[in-house]
């Protein structure tokens, strides 16, 4: 296991979406730790509530877990929270602060991701504004983002051919449908329900996803 001082945060592999709409509190922490044991390499904390005290407590606990397991810890949307807990970075969508502002607040070493949905042309602008990795999706039906338009494998292949940054895929991803995404150049697979849904063995699910890069 890596020590805190030797960690080099990266965006690669199983990217666990620790979404409090799926689980929270002690169960959230326990299930994320199980996913980390199974090989999750990135954890993103996602909480849309206004309960700032709970959000801070959960983010601190997840940050500590990731440090112990040598994993990267990302906060969704909230640059202030990411800064408060010493997160490795933040992920931003179209309604969030601009990557340039996040870069100023978090510094040159922070990992800043930008969602580009199904539009490759958004990626160069995001990277030029301070992001260092991008996400595309949804690629499959998703209960957490049911209204989003689909991204295609052709889009992913085009992104891989034109971008040198890490590429994250998101949206309805499971171990049994993700192999084409890895083959097309995905650096990381962002997964929520398939890791943390009801009745899911989070450790086994993470292990099955992590195995996709070993084939």
The domain spanning residue 149 has which CATH number?
3.20.20.70
User: 214 labelled as ligand-binding?
Assistant: no
**What is the per-residue pLDDT for 195?**
98
What pLDDT score was predicted for residue 7? 59
* 48 marked ligand binding residue: yes
pTM of the model: 0.94
pLDDT averaged over 10-residue windows placed end to end, the chain, 215 residues: 60 97 92 98 94 95 97 97 98 90 96 96 95 96 69 97 97 96 98 96 98 89
- Domain total of the chain: 1
Phi, psi of 31 (to 5 degrees): -70, -35
Helix, strand, coil % in the chain, rounded to nearest 5: 40, 20, 40
46 marked ligand binding residue: yes
According to the annotation, is 77 in a ligand binding site?
yes
Residue 3, marked binder: no
pLDDT of residue 142: 72
Residue numbers of the domain that contains 151: 4-214
For residue 8, the model assigns a pLDDT of 77
**What pLDDT does 2 receive?**
47
């Amino acid at each position: 296991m890596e020590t805190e001082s030797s960690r080099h945060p990266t965006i690669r592999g199983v990217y666990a979406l620790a979404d409090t709409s799926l689980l929270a509190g002690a169960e959230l922490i326990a299930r994320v730790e199980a996913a980390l044991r199974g090989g999750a390499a990135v954890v993103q904390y996602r909480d849309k509530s206004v309960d700032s005290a709970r959000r801070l407590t959960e983010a601190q606990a997840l940050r500590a877990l990731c440090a112990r397991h040598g994993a990267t810890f990302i906060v969704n949307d909230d640059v202030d929270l990411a800064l408060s807990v010493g997160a490795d970075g933040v992920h931003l969508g179209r309604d969030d602060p601009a990557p340039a502002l996040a870069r100023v607040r978090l510094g040159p070493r922070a990992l800043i991701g930008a969602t580009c949905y199904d539009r490759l042309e958004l990626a160069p602008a995001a990277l030029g504004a301070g992001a260092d990795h991008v996400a595309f999706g949804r690629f499959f039906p998703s209960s957490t983002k049911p209204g989003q338009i689909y991204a295609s494998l052709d889009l992913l292949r085009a992104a891989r051919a034109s971008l040198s940054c890490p590429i994250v895929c998101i949206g309805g991803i499971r171990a049994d449908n993700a192999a084409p995404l890895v083959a097309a150049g995905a650096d990381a697979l962002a997964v929520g329900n398939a890791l943390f849904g009801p009745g899911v063995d989070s450790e086994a699910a993470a292990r099955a996803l992590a195995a996709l890069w070993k084939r």
